[in-house]
Structure 1
Amino acid sequence: MDFADVLRARRMVRSYRPDPVPEDVLRRVVKVVHRAPSAGFSQGHRLIVITDPGLRRKVADLAEPVYLEAGMEPWISVAPVLVVVGVREDSYHERYQQPDKLDENGNEIGWPVPFWWFDSGSLLAMLQLAAANEGLATGFFGPHAEGLAEVVGLPEDVGLSGIMTLGYSDDDPKVPVARLAARRKPLEELVTWK
């Protein structure tokens, strides 16, 4: 698929077919973790791929009620795959305490932004593009529900960025989402040229 087509195919959905995603396809999608930005090659990304129906149900029981109460249809419980996106902050500190990363005074850098969260968002975008390239759709929900990290089995030293839903969209991808396109801000409002 051409990259422009992949970008057009990437969209957040909340409607999935129940069809399972083949393991080889899942492996190609999550393999992008090796290519995702990682400050100083800290390699702090952690993914958990959940296909087990019982565990997916437990996650949905925690995270989906807020969406259902807002009048949305079930989507977390319907997605055949959940990809937990986690990040281990200590991996960044450990890497930036290595001699080649110390500042001129021999100290770890002062972090202007928490690069681990920035990198985590970059990984999510890459996962979404890899999924689109495989003909899959994605959604995402943050760690808003109490107990999600424990239910999915994240180690204590890994922060939960959120969970990506993954599967084959139940929507017709050829139908444009005109109401969203109409709300798109003009490029000039989003990009400044100097």
Structure 2
Amino acid sequence: MEFQDVVRKRRMVRKYDTERPIPPDAVDRILHNAVRAPSGGFSQGWGFLVLETPEDIARFRAAGTPEEDAKNWFSATFEAPLVIVTHSNKSVYLDRYAQPDKGKTERSEDWWPAPYWDIDTGMAALLILQTAVDLGLGACFFGLPVERIPAYREAFGVPDELHPIGAVTIGYPAEPPRNLSKHRKSTDEVVRRGRWS
């Protein structure tokens, strides 16, 4: 598929054919592409938890679903054959930028204009979404409710230094494509050239 087709076709898919498994080589390609995302200082401070069995996915759903208004959370209602949870690791970045070649001598968040560990993990998540489209799959990125992160960590043994940024469900779409162009902001609404005002 041409890159412009991937960009044009990428959308959040919420319903999948749960009877159709994703081939292992497709999962491998998705993960291979995820780790090709850019990262500040080539820190690569991310981690990916791959859930492929119905038991693991059910455990994830249970851990990530709040007790109140559960039906309003995608974490409670999705059914997908594959889930990849993306995590950032701030410590890796702080360690990397305390090395002599970066000109710093201490681990500090003070010189970061934004949390690059989270941004870089978000870029990896976007590559997961785009690779899914390139493979003829659908995908949806969603966040975990903050109050459910401890239950998620406990259910899957996630170390404290890994912070879940979000999860991506992946599968063969079982919903018709939607035309979102009428809802998408135009380039003129969000782009300024040379000066904002």
Question: TM-score if structure 1 supplies the norm length?
Answer: 0.87
Mapped partners of 1:112, 1:155: distance in 2 = 26
1:167 counterpart (165, 171, 183): 171
Moved more, 151-160 or 125-134: 151-160
SS at match of 2:167: strand
The answer for the alignment partner of 1:140 in structure 2 is 141
The answer for the alignment partner of 2:182 in structure 1 is 182
* RMSD, matched Cα: 2.1
Mapped partners of 2:144, 2:193: distance in 1 = 36
1:193 aligns with 2:193: yes
The answer for the alignment partner of 1:17 in structure 2 is 17
Structure 2, unaligned runs of 5 or more: none
8 Å contact kept, 1:16–1:75: no
C-alpha change, 1:71 and 1:36, in structure 2 (3 Å) is closer
SS at match of 2:7: helix
Mapped partners of 1:34, 1:68: distance in 2 = 32
The answer for the alignment partner of 1:154 in structure 2 is 158
Mapped partners of 2:24, 2:91: distance in 1 = 30
Mapped partners of 1:80, 1:44: distance in 2 = 26
8 Å contact kept, 2:71–2:77: no
8 Å contact kept, 2:63–2:155: no
8 Å contact kept, 2:35–2:124: no
Deviation string 1:102-144 (CA, Å, 9 cap, x unpaired) is 24xx445611111101111111111111111111111122121
Mapped partners of 2:8, 2:157: distance in 1 = 34
Structure 1, unaligned runs of 5 or more: none
Mapped partners of 2:14, 2:42: distance in 1 = 34
Deviation string 1:22-77 (CA, Å, 9 cap, x unpaired) is 111100011113311110011111001110211100111233567862398x752x
The number of residues matched between the two structures is 186
Mapped partners of 1:169, 1:75: distance in 2 = 16
Once the two structures are TM-superposed, the CA of residue 8 in structure 1 deviates from its matched residue by 1.7
8 Å contact kept, 1:102–1:108: no
